[in-house]
Amino acid sequence: VLFSTESDVESDQKDINRRSFTRNAIFSTLIAANVINSSDPAIAASEFETYVDKNCGFQISVPVGWEKTTQEISDRRRIEFWFDPSSFKDDDKTLIFIAYTPVRDDYTSLGSFGSVQQMAAMTILPKGNLAGANEGLKSEMISADSKKNAYIFDYTVQPTPNEINRHFRTIFFLAQGATGGAGAQLVTITAQCPETKYSDVKKTFEEVINSFGKPS
């Protein structure tokens, strides 16, 4: 018979809480991305402009001409969206979003969530486990890197056989002191589109992901 010590139980509970928090952070952003719609088609521009967040200490390039909108959600979370106007008539939009999620002050670095491989295993790789999805979920990790003080993922997710297979390029970044008090902000930068359209926007997504860095 094996007996768990109090420290073992506390360690297990922290691991469960960490997994739940990370999945919920991703799940909320995916839901928000699906509920925002626009109806006026336009032509997407090929040039880029710089989005700077001095409070969180980063900048990225975003396509000129993509429609920007902001959504405030529960628990002081915020999401900035950029929609490709050429996809407005599609059932599944091509978009970029930046999600801001406050975290506790004991999350002092991305390492608090585990290694890049552990974070991938908690959120992306397990079939049927991404953000509590059903057992029909299919996911494929294409790459997982740790650089620029961030975790960077390239992956696809198909929630069920009857739903669209989506391609995601995602950056996880922890901004310390960005809440104005104790704690930090988990910044999630994601570019997503239907897998069938990924070849058309791959260069755009790579420009966005590769431009991530400290403000000039």
pLDDT above 80: residue 80: yes
* Total residue length of the chain: 216
3-class state of residue 210 by DSSP: helix
pLDDT above 50: residue 119: yes
**pLDDT in the model for residue 106:** 81
Q: Could you tell me the pLDDT band of residue 16, with boundaries at 50, 70 and 90?
A: very low
CA of 199: how far to CAs of 19, 75, 182, 202, 203, in Å? 32, 36, 42, 5, 8
- Write 136-139 long-range contacts (CB < 8 A, 24+): 136/160, 136/161, 138/165
DSSP H or E run through 191: strand 184-194
**pLDDT in the model for residue 113:** 85
Query: pLDDT over 90 for what percent of the chain?
Result: 43
**pLDDT in the model for residue 121:** 81
Q: What is the pLDDT of residues 143-156, one digit of tens each?
A: 999 999 999 999 99
Enter the pTM of the model: 0.76
Instruction: State the average pLDDT over residues 61-69.
Output: 94
**pLDDT in the model for residue 180:** 58
**pLDDT in the model for residue 146:** 95
CA–CA distance, 192 with 170 (Å, rounded to integer): 9
